[in-house]
Amino acid sequence: MTKKPDKEEYSQHLRLVLTGIAGVGTIGFIIQFVFSVVTFGR
C-alpha cells in the first residue's frame, strides 16, 4: 500500500512540479519573444 506523504516530501514534490511548470513557461516565452522580434525585424 502507499503511504500518505509527510509535509516535507509533499513540499519537495510541489517545488519540483512548480519549477518544471515555470521552466516550460519560460522556454515558451523565450521562443515566442524571439519569433516576434524576428518577424518585426523584417
Per-residue pLDDT of the chain (42 residues; tens, 9 = 90+): 788 889 999 999 999 999 999 999 999 999 999 998 887 655
Angstrom distance (rounded) from CA 42 to CA 35:
11
Q: pTM for this structure?
A: 0.71
pLDDT at 10: 95
